Amino acid sequence: MTETGTYLYAVTEETPSSDVEGLHGVADTQVRTIPCEGLVAYVSTVPLDQFGAEPLRRSMEDLDWLGETAGAHHHVVEEVADRAPVAPVRLVTVYRGDEQVKDLLRERHDDFVDVLSSVAGRREWGVKAYVDLSAPGPSRTAPSLGGPGTAYLKRRQAGLRSREEAWRQAAAHAEHLHATLSTVAVASHRHRAQDPELSGRKEAMLLNGAYLVERSRDDEFLKTVDDLRDRGVEIELTGPWAPYSFTDLEVRGDG
């Protein structure tokens, strides 16, 4: 008999229909609910030989395992988000048992209520903007007077200049995109831009933004995004998501 822990996915306010029959989470475990003081935690029982602190350190480096687990976690959060305003919890937040989850709901009750009321009726959209900085700028090297060494330095100088200029323009454009999108959103957050290895694209990522948008303003937000598509900047829209970027209560688990 292996030891088990309680894996926490998300928290909502108590709703009449918190039925999770047939909903499966990470490692194909059955999702269940823990109600406490008007809140409901969505959890499942997981084996600690996979989800204990030590095994997790190893499995987090296994990208296949991570992808599968993140997918299952996300699936549960999305299912729950369909029913009620949800505060998703970070991936692999594991507690020793149900009692510890109840303690969390009791201790952080007011924080959860605040966060849940701030995301009610709102969803998160992700906007990423990419620009191809490797596109050669206009070659401004005048035929130089000196020898090949001087010509080489002048060429490098022009290269540096145009790259700096391209970055400056790109950064200004990102500011503009973010500011414009933020006017339609209730809240916004700029994540760190991902490098090409992670984004899977060779262009540089200018903006990695998350926007919390009132459902009734979705159309307006999408139109704003469309209006911003131009001038060599490629915009990628994702969502709607559960409000992952706006519900971080630093819930850490103790498993």
DSSP 19: -
Closest distance of CB 206 from other proteins, Å: 13
Decide whether 203 or 214 has the Cβ nearer to other proteins.
Answer: 203
Decide whether 84 or 133 has the Cβ nearer to other proteins.
Answer: 133
Closest distance of CB 209 from other proteins, Å: 11
Decide whether 1 or 145 has the Cβ nearer to other proteins.
Answer: 145
Say how far apart CA 99 and CA 101 lie, in whole Å.
Answer: 5
Which residues neighbour 149 within 8 Å (Cβ) at sequence distance 6 or greater? none
Closest distance of CB 194 from other proteins, Å: 6
**Beta-strand (E) ranges in 112-251?**
122-131, 187-190, 204-214, 233-241
Closest distance of CB 66 from other proteins, Å: 6
Decide whether 13 or 132 has the Cβ nearer to other proteins.
Answer: 132
Decide whether 36 or 72 has the Cβ nearer to other proteins.
Answer: 72
Q: 217 in the Ramachandran plot: left (φ > 0), alpha (ψ -120 to 50) or beta?
A: alpha
Tokens coding 219? 């159309």
Report how far Cα 163 is from the mean position of its chain's Cα atoms: 29
Closest distance of CB 193 from other proteins, Å: 10
Say how far apart CA 189 and CA 208 lie, in whole Å.
Answer: 9
Query: Residues interacting with other proteins, by CB under 8 A?
Result: 60-61, 63, 66, 70, 90-91, 126, 133-134, 146-153, 156-157, 160, 163, 191-192, 194-195, 197-198, 204, 210, 241, 244-245
Tokens coding 21? 């029959």
**Beta-strand (E) ranges in the chain?**
4-13, 31-36, 39-47, 86-95, 122-131, 187-190, 204-214, 233-241
Q: Pick the closest to residue 208 from 135, 136, 124 (CA basis).
A: 124
Q: Pick the closest to residue 243 from 145, 143, 119 (CA basis).
A: 119
Decide whether 36 or 174 has the Cβ nearer to other proteins.
Answer: 174
Closest distance of CB 35 from other proteins, Å: 26
Closest distance of CB 16 from other proteins, Å: 30
Decide whether 109 or 201 has the Cβ nearer to other proteins.
Answer: 201
